[in-house]
Amino acid sequence: MIKFLPLGGAGEIGANCFYLNISGTGIILDCGMHPQRIGMESLPDLDLIKDLPVDYVLISHAHQDHLGALPYLVQKHPYIKILSTPQTRALAELTLHNSVAILKEQLAEEDKFKIYTHEEIDLLIRSIEYKAYNENFNLNGYGHRSKDPVSVNFYDAGHILGSAGILLEHNNEKIFYTGDINLGNQELLPGSTLPDVKVDVLILETTYGDTDSSTILNWKEEALRLAFSINKILNSGGSVLIPVFSLGKMQEIIATLWNLMKAGKLTQTDIYTGGIADKISRVYDYNRYVVNRIDPEFEINSIPQKDLYEVDQPEKFFKNPCIVLAPSGMMIEGTASFKLARRWLKQSNSAVFTVGYMEENTPGYIFANSKKGNKIKLNEIIEEEEVKCTIEQFRFSSHSKREELLKIVEKLKPEKVILVHGSPNGIDWIGASILKKFKGTKVFIARLGKEILI
């Protein structure tokens, strides 16, 4: 008997966290924090499992929305065993320590919500057991009622360094959880590897379920389009701001820009990066021979970069044309990209180019959907401002397009598909397409706190 219970990340791209009970062994898949919410609201609903066995948590990758709430899970369940790939463990150490400072800033006035400490993070990281891709291992919880343990395998998900799709097997029943998965190539990472078996249950992410795939060009074509637009700005003496996530998008985009410069397609100019992204790039570099890479020789830290945090006044970015890669990707308030974008707005010869997915209602979404001459209002406090700079949207995807998600269903031939991690429209599109294309397949939509028997 297998039970599946969503604790978060159901019907939204938020605090991804799913509970599985396999013959008495309690396994949690991911434990994320909602990036747009603050305090208790940002956590998965761990009360839903307070009377259930909780033995293991498997982390698919180190993005905050899959990992950020792990310290709270460990506070509630100190004996839980944590497992991830070695790369996810190394990245988690950086991102969780970094989030201590961010949470302190956000939660200055809230006292109910206890922020974890650097010491707690150190202990937590040390307790993570790591397993390489394709290294089979067994789980056997305290209340396990079967002779067969649960066997697990991580598959390279092609999303960010260390990202894994997770295959669980018990009594010949196979469950595959995609995590965030990308079938296509990026600049550094090649597309995902899928298990070569038929599965019974597929737990499928649906991020791009409501995005028309014709709006997502292939990476190389999109890179040339970006180079063309950046050249126009640089040649007129302006500077370009690109909001990026520090983990994943930053590394892929700087590699893309550098390869364009080397190929003579992009004007050579100063590139600014910095902060935690530099440390993350180093982890990418250390692992370049260990995991699949398009070019294992390519080192991110061999690219000349200036530190954006050493520039004390934003005006200095406009002295000479330059490219600034600043976090966060969705320009969340208080982050470097949000602050810089407000200065960029006033600069008519310069541009803000967005390169990734923007969730609705984020400043990044408002920005990406505006253009020169528009008036925009970034939040309730800030007054309406006129957009004087150029704004253009680009799509460099680290998630599968929606047709590719259907290809995963075609390859793994599941009897049941559980849809997670997407907007309601996206989930509808994927669900309807599966029912039409794969007759006899059952589709479930994950809903918070609603158990599914599988």
Query: Residue 208 CB, nearest distance to Zn ion (Å)?
Result: 12
> Which residue, 30 or 169, has its beta carbon nearer to Zn ion?
30
d(CA 249, CA 14): 18
Q: Which amino acid is at 310?
A: E
What's the closest the beta carbon of residue 87 comes to Zn ion, in angstroms? 13
Amino acid (1-letter code) at residue 103: L
Of the candidates 253, 255, 236, the residue with the CA atom closest to the CA atom of residue 300: 255
Amino acid 339 reads K
Nearest by Cα to 277 from 239, 241, 256, 249? 249
- Under rule CB under 5 A, residue 156 binds Zn ion: no
- C-beta of 16 vs 239, nearer to Zn ion: 16
Q: CB nearer to Zn ion: give 11 or 32.
A: 32
- Write the single-letter amino acid at 191: G
Q: Which residues contact 220 (CB under 8 A, 6 or more apart)?
A: none
Q: Could you count the other beta carbons within 10 Å of the beta carbon of residue 190?
A: 16
- Measured in residues, the chain has a length of 454
Residue 395 Cβ vs Zn ion, minimum distance, rounded to whole Å? 16
Nearest to Zn ion of 113, 219 (CB atom): 219
- Residue pair 3/451 in contact (Cβ under 8 Å)? The answer is yes
Q: Closer to Zn ion at the Cβ: 28 or 181? A: 181
Q: Which residue's CB is nearer to Zn ion, number 26 or number 68?
A: 68
Q: Choose one: 149-157, 180-188, 287-295, 373-381; the region binding Zn ion (CB under 5 A).
A: 180-188
Measured CA distances, 284 to 55, 87, 189, 245, 251 (Å): 31, 8, 10, 15, 8
Query: With respect to Zn ion, which residue has the nearer C-beta, 248 or 314?
Result: 248
382 DSSP assignment: S
Residue 381 CB, nearest approach to Zn ion (Å): 30
What's the min distance (Å) between Cβ of 398 and Zn ion?
Answer: 7
Nearer residue to Zn ion within complex by CB, 59 or 234: 59
Supply the minimum distance, in Å, between the C-beta of residue 61 and Zn ion.
Answer: 6
| Residues 3, 26: Cα–Cα separation, whole Å | 9
With beta carbons less than 8 A apart as the criterion, state whether 296 and 288 touch. yes
Question: Among 12, 93, 169, 180, which residue sits at the site for Zn ion (rule: CB under 5 A)?
Answer: 180
d(CA 337, CA 242): 8
Q: How many residues bind Zn ion (CB under 5 A)?
A: 2
Q: Closest separation between CB of residue 351 and Zn ion, Å?
A: 27
Closer of 98 and 259 to Zn ion (Cβ): 98
What is the closest distance, in whole angstroms, from the C-beta atom of residue 67 to Zn ion in the complex?
9
> 414 CB contacts (<8 Å, ≥6 apart)?
176, 198, 199, 200, 201, 202, 441
Peptide bond into 328 cis (omega under 30): yes
Work out how close the CB of 63 gets to Zn ion at its nearest, in angstroms, rounded to a whole number: 4
Q: What residues between 47 and 106 interact with Zn ion by CB under 5 A?
A: 63
Give the residues lining the site for Zn ion (CB under 5 A): 63, 180
